[in-house]
Amino acid sequence: MMKFPAQKILLIATRQIGDVLLITPLLRSLRRAYPDAQIDVLVFKGKEGILKGNPDYQHLLTIAERPHWREHLALLARLFRRYDLAVSTLAGDRPVFYSWLAAPQRVSIVPPLDKKSAWKRWILQGWTELDDENTHTVTQNLRLADVLAIPRYSAVVAPSLPTDIAQLSTCLPFAWQKTPYAVLHLLPMWRYKRWTLAGWANIAHYLHQRGLKIILTGGGGETELKYLSEAMQKMPDSVVNLAGQLQFSEVATLLNHAKIYIGPDTAVTHLAAAVGVPTVALYGPTNPVKWSPYPSDYQADSPPFLKQGSQRCGNVFLIQGAGDCVPCHQEGCDRHRDSDSRCLQTLEPATVIQAIVTFLT
C-alpha cells in the first residue's frame, strides 16, 4: 500500500494500559509522516491516562470495555466516516469494524487467515498478519507503518507534562532531584504476575544499605493500598509510598530521575524501560518475546529478548522465574488471573540483587 494524503486519522488501541503505551512508536511514526493531520486515538475508558502528555495526537476517544448499547451507538455515530484513514492495532472484530466505519481507507493487524476472519481482509486496504508468539508487540504495530509505506519510529514515547516536576516536589518529602533513589512497583494488575512480599522487603533493605532512598508507585485501589501498607511494615522506615498520588506523566518523570527501577510485568515497567532508567523486570508466565519491556534505544526488527532465560538488553534486565514450563503463556498455575505462579513465588531475592548490582556498579 502506498502512502496517501490524510487529513484526519484514527488510531484504534482498545486494550490495556501497557498495550496503549506500546502503540506510541506507531503513533509517532504517523505524526512524523503526517505532520499536519488531525490524529485521534480510540482507547478503552480508564486507559487513556498513559497518553496524557503525549504530543502526537489531537483527541482521545474512549469507550467502555463492555459498553451499554446507547454508549456504543453514540461512539459509532461519532466515528461514522469522520476520518480519511483508520489504523487498528488489534485483530479483533470490534476494532476492525470500527476502522471500517470510520474511514474509507483502513489498515489493521489481522488474525491468520481462516473462514471466520476472511472478511477482515476483504474490507481493509492493507493489513499485516498477527504473530502472537515470535514478534514483539512494538514491532507488530510498526509493521502497520510498513503497510502505509511510512518510515518507522521505534522508541516508546513516555508522557510528559510541564507540571510534573512541581507535582513531584509537592509529594516527596526530600529533595528528589538531588537525591539518589530507587523506584519499586510491587503490584501488577493480576495476581499471577506477582512476586512475594518477602522478596520485595529483601530488595528494599538491600537498596537502603546501598544508600538509596526508596519510592513505591502504584494505583489508588483499596486492594493495592492495603498490599503496599503490609509491604511497608517489612521495609525500612524511610520508604515513601506514592501509590494513588501520581498520573502517568509524573511517574515517567520520577522514573527518569531514578537510579534504578524494579517491577513486575506491568505498564509501569514498560514505562521505565521507555524513559531509559535501568530497569529490572520480573517475569513469569508471560512470553518475553512478545511482551518484554522495550529497551529505550532498541531499533532492531528482531525481538529484544529470547523466550527463555534471564537476560539483559540495553537498559532492561529481564529476570524470568525458573521452571521447564516457563513461559507457559497461562494465567498462573491454576489457570486463572487470581492464582499464583510458582515460577515467581520461588524466585530468590539473590537473583534479583545480582541484576541490580550490574546496574549500580
> pTM for the complete prediction?
0.95
Higher pLDDT among residues 181 and 4, named by residue: 181
As a three-state string, the secondary structure of 244-310 is CCCCHHHHHHHHHCCCEEEEECCHHHHHHHHHCCCEEEEECCCCHHHHCCCCCCCCCCCCCCCCCCC
Does CATH place domain 8-147 in 3.40.50.850?
no
- CATH pick for 164-360 out of 3.40.50.2300, 3.40.630.10, 3.40.50.2000, 1.10.10.60: 3.40.50.2000
Mean pLDDT of the 169-190 span: 96
Mean pLDDT of the 355-359 span: 98
Percent of the chain having pLDDT more than 70? 99
Q: What is the pLDDT of residues 3-44, one digit of tens each?
A: 667 899 999 999 999 999 999 999 999 999 999 999 999 999
Q: What is the pLDDT of residues 210-242, one digit of tens each?
A: 999 999 999 999 999 999 999 999 999 999 999
Q: Which of 221-225, 289-293, 323-327 has the highest mean pLDDT?
A: 289-293
Q: CA 49, CA 268: separation in Å to the nearest integer?
A: 12
Q: What is the mean pLDDT of the chain?
A: 95
Give the model's confidence band at 332: pLDDT under 50 very low, under 70 low, under 90 confident, else very high.
confident
Residues 6+ apart with CB under 8 A from 317: 278, 279, 280, 281, 310, 311, 355, 358, 359
Query: Cβ atoms within 10 A of the Cβ of 174, count?
Result: 12
Q: CA 65, CA 50: separation in Å to the nearest integer?
A: 17
Q: CA 19, CA 332: separation in Å to the nearest integer?
A: 20
Question: What pLDDT sits at residue 330?
Answer: 86
Domain spans of the chain, in order of start:
8-147, 164-360
Q: What is the pLDDT of residues 69-127, one digit of tens each?
A: 999 999 999 999 999 999 999 999 999 999 999 999 999 999 998 888 899 999 999 99
